[in-house]
Amino acid sequence: MERLFRGIDYKVLKITEKDIYSGNLEYDSRKVKRGDIFIALKGALVDGHKFIDKAIENGAVAIIVSEESTELKEGVAYFLVENLRGNLGVIASNFYGNPEKKLKIIGVTGTNGKTTTTYLIEQILGESKVARIGTVEYKIGDEIIEAPNTTPESLDIIKMCKKAVEKGLEYLVMEVSSHGLTSGRVDMLEFDVAIFTNLTPEHLDYHRDMEEYFNAKKILFKKLKDKRNGIINIDDEYGKKIYSEFGGISYSLNGEADLDMKLIEEIKPPLLGRFNMYNLLAAVGVGKILNIDSSVIRERARKIKGAPGRFESVFAGQEFKMVVDYAHTGDALENILQGVTELKNGGRIITIFGCGGDRDTLKRPVMAEISERYSDLVIVTSDNPRTEDPNKIVEDIVKGFKTKNYMIETDRREAIKKAVLKAGKDDIILIAGKGHETYQILGTTKIHFDDREIAIEAIKELEEVK
């Protein structure tokens, strides 16, 4: 057991005669099998100590706790680690033989663009060599794992690193959220490359203010093996601060930088939208740092594709354009609408959006003002209302409108149908907020809901009516 706790403080509460652990580490008692070690994590909503008996019943032979009040059962070993969540990554790394050290790890942080940037990096480095962790999914070789969090628990990260090594992968590309950085989920990792995309108001229900949010993002750059390997958007005011503190490689579309518009003009990528040019510059920077041949980088960049649900086109034979995007902050919505405006060819822009319930309320009128500025018609609807009254969310949103070029339809399915009915030739419909998500959260219930599917259904219904 000394190997398991190498580098951290621990206390033996009870030891068994046989120090043999043949299984895995698990923090979910339902996943425990015979021979496993159960980690009794204490979270904001669930206390793992309450599930120790269930873990033992399922075959756990050892328990790691963060408090001594636990009843010690016969035939089971118990160990105390006071800062268990903060040390979980180190424990996992020790247990599984430090698999993360056998991969080159690229971390992407920022408010917007993280997901698309990870997809672009994967293509620049070569998809057959890359494991990817992020908002849409966790992809380890040919295995796709559902993504409950943008940045998984540290134990899950280490397990995925182990799988990646076993499959012969070389790189781990991951989105690193501010929550993941401050909760210790990546404490056990050292990064070969770190990217900062931008910082705009978001997650201020979790962080007290923008300064705290910014300081959380900076943690990633403190975890670089080589401080010169940060790739930073210096068009962003917070990016300039990071660049002045850490240095590294700069990228910009507004002026001269290590990576700038000259590179975009040389590559001529097939991506749409100015925001995607930022993402591509960051991805190309990763290729350069990791010594991918420049001709290979250019070749791959010229064929590159975006991420699911990010400025994704939906087509079912209609005369108008339709785009689905995950944009759910003011800055992200503005970026996407600027991209939509670039596609405008005489028609109107119809924007559908809502705001999540039980989340930051300050962005609601801001998103209304932005959508109104770029759109000819805005349809305000529900996103994931969760336990909040959808009508109250809409009330907060409409305070930001200055004109009457909007309508309200809280049923998201009906909102999409109404947009399709109103769209004419050359119009563009933007459905914002959910992107790749295939669910909607109503109260505490998660139902299947995919904007792309609903849009196609609505288009087909319109064709039948015609």
Identify the CATH number of the domain in which residue 296 sits.
3.40.1190.10
Query: In this predicted model, what pLDDT tens digit does every residue of 442-466 receive, in sequence order?
Result: 999 999 999 999 999 999 998 877 6
- The answer to whether 121 touches 106, Cβ cutoff 8 Å, is yes
Look at residue 69 in the predicted model and tell me its pLDDT.
Answer: 77
- Pick the last residue of a domain from 272, 301, 330: 301
- Pick the last residue of a domain from 257, 274, 301: 301
Q: Is residue 1 part of a domain?
A: no
For the chain, which ranges sit under pLDDT 50? 207
Whether residue 266 sits in one domain with residue 165: yes
Q: Is residue 306 part of a domain?
A: no
Distance CA(55)–CA(49), nearest Å, equals 10
Q: What is the CATH number of the domain that holds 51?
A: 3.40.1390.10
Whether residue 448 sits in one domain with residue 357: yes
Whether residue 208 sits in one domain with residue 183: yes
Query: In this predicted model, what pLDDT tens digit does every residue of 68-93 receive, in sequence order?
Result: 877 899 999 999 999 999 999 999 99
Whether residue 440 sits in one domain with residue 334: yes
Q: Is residue 163 part of a domain?
A: yes
Structurally, the chain folds into a number of domains equal to 3
Look at residue 205 in the predicted model and tell me its pLDDT.
Answer: 53
Distance CA(140)–CA(342), nearest Å, equals 36
Q: What is the CATH number of the domain that holds 422?
A: 3.90.190.20
Whether residue 148 sits in one domain with residue 264: yes
Residue pointed to by tokens 């070029």: 405
Whether residue 326 sits in one domain with residue 290: no
Whether residue 105 sits in one domain with residue 36: no
Whether residue 429 sits in one domain with residue 297: no
Distance CA(241)–CA(234), nearest Å, equals 8
For the purposes of burial, counting CB atoms within 10 Å of the CB of 28, is it exposed (0-12), middle (13-18) or buried (19 or more)?
middle
Distance CA(414)–CA(423), nearest Å, equals 14
Whether residue 450 sits in one domain with residue 321: yes
User: Crossing angle of helices 274-289/330-343, nearest 10°?
Assistant: 110
Residue pointed to by tokens 């087909």: 460
Strand partners, 191: 224
Question: Range of 262's domain?
Answer: 99-301
Q: Which residues contact 261 (CB under 8 A, 6 or more apart)?
A: 253, 277
- The answer to whether 250 touches 258, Cβ cutoff 8 Å, is yes
Look at residue 20 in the predicted model and tell me its pLDDT.
Answer: 64
Whether residue 403 sits in one domain with residue 459: yes
Return the DSSP state at 196.
E
Question: Could you tell me the two tokens for 324?
Answer: 């689905």
Q: Is residue 112 part of a domain?
A: yes
Q: Is residue 2 part of a domain?
A: no
Whether residue 435 sits in one domain with residue 332: yes
- Pick the last residue of a domain from 95, 112, 129: 95
Q: Is residue 418 part of a domain?
A: yes
**294 half-sphere exposure, CB direction, 13 A CA radius:** 3
Look at residue 3 in the predicted model and tell me its pLDDT.
Answer: 85
Q: Is residue 280 part of a domain?
A: yes
For the purposes of burial, counting CB atoms within 10 Å of the CB of 381, is it exposed (0-12), middle (13-18) or buried (19 or more)?
buried
Q: Which residues contact 89 (CB under 8 A, 6 or more apart)?
A: 154, 155, 157, 158, 184, 185, 186, 187, 188, 189
Look at residue 202 in the predicted model and tell me its pLDDT.
Answer: 60
Whether residue 218 sits in one domain with residue 105: yes
